[in-house]
A and B are shown apart, each in its own frame.
Chain A
Amino acid sequence: MKLTDREKIVVLLAPLAIVLGGYGWWYNVFQRPKMQTAERDYEAAVAAQVKPLDMLEQQTRKKLLDRELDAIKKQKAQLDSLAATAAGHEADPVRRIEAEKQLGDLLRRHGLQLVEEGLAAQASQNKLPGSLAEAVGRFGKPTTARTAQVRRLRLSGTFMNVLAAVRELAALEAPPGVPISLSMSEADSQADYRTWTLLVLM
């Protein structure tokens, strides 16, 4: 088909100009700002992007910290248990009975006769020594549990009997009790036997 010059303009160029011009206007007004924003965001994201090694480093660090934290928690649980034991909160009644028996055997073995045994019921006798109370108090737990384990023993025997018993108690790796106070009644100066009051922390 042959087209005159005018027809080339009217039929071909005009529709092209109208459509392309319209699209160009629409693109410039509505699309270009969106594209520019998207490109700017993309460039900013690229500039701020993390390296794969960063991610790997943080993941590895998290694993290490988790492992360390688990170990420390276990260690703290053990220490807490030890602290609770030291504060008297994990006393084993069976073990206490056994300890009382061991203590009684020890005293008898050194010639001491047990006259009376019981809890230190008197207010003045059921307290811990200040230094020990301070040490137990550091665990942040009430000291009443420890205080409740102070026993009062009335014994009959000589000074040397008591000295030998106390020496063995001090020498034992796991003594059945810790002596915290000792009283000696006044008696005839010519007699060897005395009455002793021993406060023991079981």
Chain B
Amino acid sequence: MKTRCPNTILLVTRDRLVRADLRAGRGKIAVTALYEQRRVAADDLPSQVEAALRQSSKGPGQVWILTSEIWTQSLSLPLESLTGLSTDEVTRALGFEAEPFSNLGAMEAAIASVPETGDGRTKTFWLSEMPNSQLEQIDFVIRQAAGRLAGVSHPGGLPAPFDATLADSSWRRIELWPAAMISVEGKPGAVAKVAVVNSDPRPGRWLNDVPSLAQDSATTTEWLHATSALPVEEIPESGCWSLEDRTALEHFLVTWAEQLAASRANVPQIVPLKRPMSTGVRQAIAAVVGVAALVACVAVQVFVNQHHGYLANETGRLKAATAQVAKLKGDNDKLQTQRDELKKACGQIQADLDHYQEVMRAQRQRLLSLLTVLAHRSTDDVMIRKIEGTENEIVLHGLCMQTEFADNLAGALAAALKHEGWNVQPPSRQSKEMLVGGGPWEFEVHIEDPLAKSPPPAAAQRAGGK
């Protein structure tokens, strides 16, 4: 069992009440105050504990109680009966085994045990027990004194030699306590063996019981005198420690404190049962746990919100980029359509301009071609008497000696003016009947612009004349 250095050790025996206030520092434990008084009343153990505490008004802190008032013994159990049992179950079984000797019911007792050696068929345990009611009362008394009960042990059986020089060799200590004689044997690197005789050392005869306690020969023997029932003079002087001696008492308590602090105390340690908390403390702890859980939930929610925000932002950014590209594409398509329409319009205008230039060129050539033909064809046989011209038509009036001359002239004009966009109509003739052949002949040649929207005046007159 893990322990730590107690602040206070109370030693309660049949004869004395001792309170030792301790202080740990620089690897050493020292007694800061030691109070001792004779036990005068035959009160119960809790009252004795209270009396021991009251020797000082200082708060006791963590308290360890060493008392010879609890029952202790070593018991052996067959190995087969221990198979499959937990430590607590073994302790409880030991309590039942000890009932005839301790007169304590196993169910009403607070029990502690530590395993020792065995002989191959059995296993030996060192056992201590006390009534549960006493333990609870002691716990209450110490809490009333603003302390905390760390545990209760029998003061006998400390598994370390008082003389520190013996720690590296075999040693044995015979302890004489009220109602118990305890033999402790230790070897380097081995668990100390403890043997207990549950009786007061009998003055003058207790030595007869010592050989039965000794299980192994030992090189050095210490003697602890801790009961007033036996005169200290009966103890061998060599290696004798008596708790009557204040220095020995202080050394005894410091050695115990060192063993407890170093967690090396292989002794039965009865610890108080866990005490249920008050409602207020429970509520406070529950509130703290709840608030901590709530804080964790809030932290998780903050993370969730951040993640949600990140997702929303990223989604918005991606959608915006997609929409931007789509808008750009739509704008570009419109621009492309506009460009194509403009290109088409430009092509049309260019074609119209080309056509206009062609028409203008033909227009400039028309009269030249007409006059050139007339210059070549106008002879004595053909005479142009008059030319009537409008924007869409030119009418040639002339005389010829033979009809074919007018036809020839019209043919020549048609051939020359075809490329200039003028249509030459067949000539109309009228005989003057002055010659044998009917000649001379008056003729008219109509030259028309084919795209004239309205009939030229001359044509209209002709139509009206007919």
Contacts and interface: CB of A to CB of B under 8 A. Distances in A.
Q: Chain B interface mostly helix, strand, loop or mixed?
A: helix
Contact of B328 (A41, A48, A59, A130): A59
Given A15-B287, A23-B297, A131-B362, A39 B311 contact: yes
Nearest to B347: A79
A135 interface: yes
B297 A20 contact: yes
Given A15-B286, A130-B453, A79 B308 contact: no
Interface stretch (B16-24, B224-232, B236-244, B387-395): B387-395
A185 B336 CA distance: 61
B397 to A, nearest CB: 7
Contact of B371 (A19, A82, A163): A163
Nearest to A127: B391
B325 interface: yes
B332 A65 contact: yes
A43 B453 CA distance: 71
Nearest to B371: A163
A34 B452 contact: no
Nearest to A168: B368
B364 A181 contact: no
B359 A132 contact: yes
A66 B390 CA distance: 50
Interface in B337-371: 338-339, 342-343, 345-346, 349-350, 352-353, 355-356, 359-360, 362-368, 370-371
Nearest to A51: B325
A134 B451 contact: yes
Given A41-B315, A178-B364, A15 B290 contact: yes
Interface stretch (B6-14, B32-40, B203-211, B378-386): B378-386
B72 to A, nearest CB: 25
A58 B338 contact: no
Nearest to B387: A184
A80 to B, nearest CB: 7
Contacts of A86: 353, 356
Nearest to A34: B308
A18 B297 CA distance: 12
B364 A48 contact: no
A118 B317 CA distance: 76
Interface residues of A, number: 84
Contacts of B392: 127, 129-130
A128 B449 CA distance: 11
A48 B336 contact: no
Interface of A: 2-4, 6-7, 10-12, 14-16, 18-20, 23, 27, 31, 34-35, 38-39, 41-42, 45-46, 48-50, 54-55, 58-59, 61-62, 65-66, 68-69, 72-73, 75-76, 79-80, 82-83, 86, 124-125, 127-136, 138-139, 150, 159-160, 162-163, 166-167, 169-170, 175, 178-186, 189, 197, 199, 201
Given A48-B322, A49-B322, A186 B328 contact: no
Contacts of B302: none
A201 B359 CA distance: 13
Contact of B339 (A46, A69, A162): A69
B276 A7 contact: yes
Nearest to B368: A170
24 contacts: A14-B286, A16-B289, A19-B297, A35-B307, A38-B312, A45-B318, A48-B318, A48-B322, A58-B328, A62-B335, A75-B346, A82-B349, A82-B353, A124-B457, A131-B362, A132-B363, A135-B356, A150-B391, A166-B371, A169-B364, A170-B368, A180-B363, A181-B390, A182-B394
A35 B356 contact: no
B294 interface: yes
Given A75-B346, A76-B342, A135-B356, A170 B365 contact: yes
A65 B335 contact: yes
B79 interface: no
B319 interface: yes
B282 interface: yes
B391 A184 contact: no
B285 interface: yes
Contact of A76 (B301, B346, B378): B346
Nearest to B314: A42
A170 B451 CA distance: 22
B458 to A, nearest CB: 10
B287 A138 contact: no
B450 interface: yes
Given A65-B336, A124-B390, A79 B350 contact: yes
B372 interface: yes
A139 B383 contact: no
A10 B342 CA distance: 85
Interface in B300-333: 300-301, 304, 307-308, 311-312, 314-315, 318-319, 321-322, 324-325, 328-329, 331-332
B346 A79 contact: yes
A130 B386 contact: no
A3 B349 contact: no
